[in-house]
A and B are shown apart, each in its own frame.
Chain A
Amino acid sequence: MRRTVIPILATLVAVVAIAAGAFAVNGGSSSITKARLERSLPTTFSNLYVQRARIQGRTDVTAASLHATAMCDKGGAALPDVGPGGDWNCLMSWTDPQVPMPQEGYGKFELNVHSNGCYTAGAPSKLVGFMTMTDATGRTVTNPVSEFDGCFDPQGDNTPTGNSFPSLLSVLSTTVQPTVDHRAPIQISCGTGDGGCAGTVSATSGGVSLGSMGYAVKEEQTATLTLPDPMPAGASDVTFTFAPTKGVASTKPTTISSQG
Chain B
Amino acid sequence: MTTIIDTRVQTTARARHVGTAAVVRWEVRKLAHQWRAKAVLLGALLGPIPVVFIIHGQSRPPKDTLFGRFATENGFALALLILGFAAQWVLPLLTAIVAGDIFASEDQHGTWKTVLTRSTSRGRIFWAKTLASVLFAIVTLAVLAASTITSSVLIAGNAPLTGLSGQQVAPGDALALVSASWASMLPGMLAFTCLAILLSVWSRNPAAGIAAPVVIGMVMQLVGALGGVEPIRPFLLSTGFEAWHGLLTDPRYTRPLLEGAVTSAGWCLVTLALAYLTLRRRDITGG
Contacts and interface: CB of A to CB of B under 8 A. Distances in A.
Interface in A1-54: 3-4, 7-8, 11, 15, 18-20, 22-23, 26, 28-31, 40, 43-48, 51
A102 B58 CA distance: 38
Contacts of B228: 28, 30, 83
Nearest to B239: A116
A85 B67 CA distance: 20
Given A26-B230, A28-B230, A115-B225, A45 B166 contact: yes
Interface stretch (B98-106, B128-136, B138-146, B241-249): B241-249
B231 A22 contact: yes
B164 A150 contact: yes
A117 B245 contact: yes
B165 A40 contact: yes
13 contacts: A3-B278, A3-B281, A4-B202, A7-B274, A22-B232, A28-B230, A30-B227, A46-B166, A83-B228, A144-B162, A147-B63, A151-B66, A155-B256
A149 B164 contact: yes
Contact of A28 (B224, B226, B231): B231
A130 interface: no
Counting chain B CB atoms within 10 Å of each CB, which of A83, A148, A154 scores highest?
Answer: A154
B234 interface: yes
A8 B274 CA distance: 8
A4 B283 CA distance: 12
B42 interface: no
B84 to A, nearest CB: 10
Contact of B162 (A18, A23, A51): A51
Nearest to A117: B245
Contacts of B253: 153, 155-156
Counting chain B CB atoms within 10 Å of each CB, which of A26, A51, A151 scores highest?
Answer: A151
Contacts of A46: 166
Q: In which size bucket is the chain B interface?
A: 35 or more
A18 B242 CA distance: 22
Interface in B69-121: 69
Interface residues of A, number: 45
Nearest to A31: B230
Nearest to A49: B166
Contact of A47 (B166, B231, B246, B270): B166
Nearest to B168: A51
B86 to A, nearest CB: 16
Interface in B159-173: 162, 164-168
A114 interface: yes
Nearest to A84: B227
A142 B60 CA distance: 11
B233 interface: yes
Q: Is the interface of A mostly helix, strand, loop or mixed?
A: mixed
A19 B231 contact: yes
A156 B254 CA distance: 11
Interface in B208-256: 224-235, 239, 242, 245-246, 248-250, 253, 255-256
B277 interface: yes
A153 B66 contact: no
A45 to B, nearest CB: 7
Interface string A164-180: 00000000000000000
Nearest to B281: A3
Contacts of A142: 69
Given A18-B235, A156-B253, A44 B226 contact: no
Given A84-B227, A151-B245, A11 B270 contact: yes
Contacts of B242: 116
Nearest to B271: A11
Interface string A48-64: 10010000000000000
Interface string B249-275: 110010110000000000000100010
A151 B243 CA distance: 11
A243 interface: no
Contacts of B229: 115
Contacts of A7: 274, 277-278
Contacts of B226: 115
Given A151-B245, A153-B255, A48 B231 contact: no
A118 B245 contact: yes
Contacts of B66: 118, 149, 151
